[in-house]
Amino acid sequence: MAPKNRWHLNFVEDAKENGHDWAEGVDRVWHNVVCPRCDGEGTTWHGLSFAAEDFAEDREGLTEAIEAGAFDRPCEECHGNKVMSALDIQAMPHEIQQEYLRWETEAINLARADAQERMMGA
């Protein structure tokens, strides 16, 4: 079972909590999409990158290790499933699309404010 897109999952849960009667219907239309984070590879490097110096020492060895997947970690988004379960927002009735866009804007703003607060050490 592919892990569900967190934003979409939160949206459905919020809608249920707020008593929207369409929430149950929306919760039945999950479909699989190629994981946008790892592009269907199932692995990421978690931001790991190499500098020229790393290659200067043992270019061949390092290249080989990379190709062999020595630095690959399961993708944190799809947990190596290569696919995610997502809502088909485009296929939803217009008013639910609007609802989603409103919710998404708010959620992004909240996440941003949260990150800012953390940066300020609050």
Q: Which of 75, 86, 87, 96 binds Zn ion (CB under 5 A)?
A: 75
Between residue 78 and residue 107, which ones bind Zn ion under the rule CB under 5 A? 78
Between residue 13 and residue 52, which ones bind Zn ion under the rule CB under 5 A? 35, 37-38
Q: How far is the CB of 44 from Zn ion (least distance, A)?
A: 7
Contacts of 66 (CB under 8 A, 6+ apart): 50
DSSP 58-118: -HHHHHHHHHTTTT-EE-TTTTT-SEEEEE-GGGS-HHHHHHHHHHHHHHHHHHHHHHHHH
Nearer to Zn ion, 34 or 66 (CB): 34
Q: Is residue 77 involved in binding Zn ion (CB under 5 A)?
A: yes
Kindly list the residues in this chain that would bind Zn ion in the complex (CB under 5 A): 35, 37-38, 75, 77-78
